[in-house]
Amino acid sequence: MIGTESFRFGVNWRTIIPEAFMQRCGLWFAALLVYPLLLAENLPVIPGTATATAAIPADMQRESALYLQRRLGAWTFAEARAILGAPLRQRPAFDEGGAVSGTTYAFPDPTNRYKELELSFDRQSGRLESIFVYPFQMTWQECKDAWGANVMVARTSRGRVFYSYLNRQLDVLVDSGGSVISIGLY
């Protein structure tokens, strides 16, 4: 039997769920499908969606990597999630000795400037420790033009080159063709 006018939460389900749908599925099932949509009206905007721009701070809209760099040592995961939304995935972060030192979370860039943003949070303090941005298209030459070439160079076995700037807190990982894979900020 289909329920009457309204029940829990004071919603008149007959005004939002078509009668034919309720008859086929039952009121409770139909309500389970529709109620989350009603709740969504009161939820914060999720970054990465078309309407997220209003929720993105103006400084972040200008340059997301620099905005995040200014939050190093201060931001917690909760603060990052409030701006960036739910992470896509996570992985352990390691120190130079190979011990787990924190957690790195991958987020979509709500400004769509970068393919992805990774934020690494320290295990003990819970604060933002480093940032990795993954550009859509950038070359090592563009990095040199922007930041110079005062770097220490390390070549990897897979033909990649790791450039660590000596005069700024910036690392660049480049593939064998000269395309930037990631930029690290710490």
The strands making up 128-135's β-sheet, listed across from edge to edge, are 89-94, 100-107, 114-122, 128-135, 180-185, 170-174, 161-165, 151-155
Pair 106, 88: CB distance under 8 Å: yes
Burial category of 122 from C-beta neighbours within 10 Å (exposed 0-12, middle 13-18, buried 19 and up): middle
Average pLDDT over residues 33-47: 38
Residue 30 reports pLDDT greater than 80: no
Average pLDDT over residues 5-18: 40
67 or 10, higher pLDDT:
67
Q: For residue range 138-178, what is the model confidence (pLDDT) as tens digits? A: 999 999 999 999 999 999 989 999 999 999 999 999 999 99
**Quick one: pLDDT at residue 33?**
39
Domain boundaries, the chain: 6-40, 55-131, 137-186
pTM (2 d.p.): 0.69
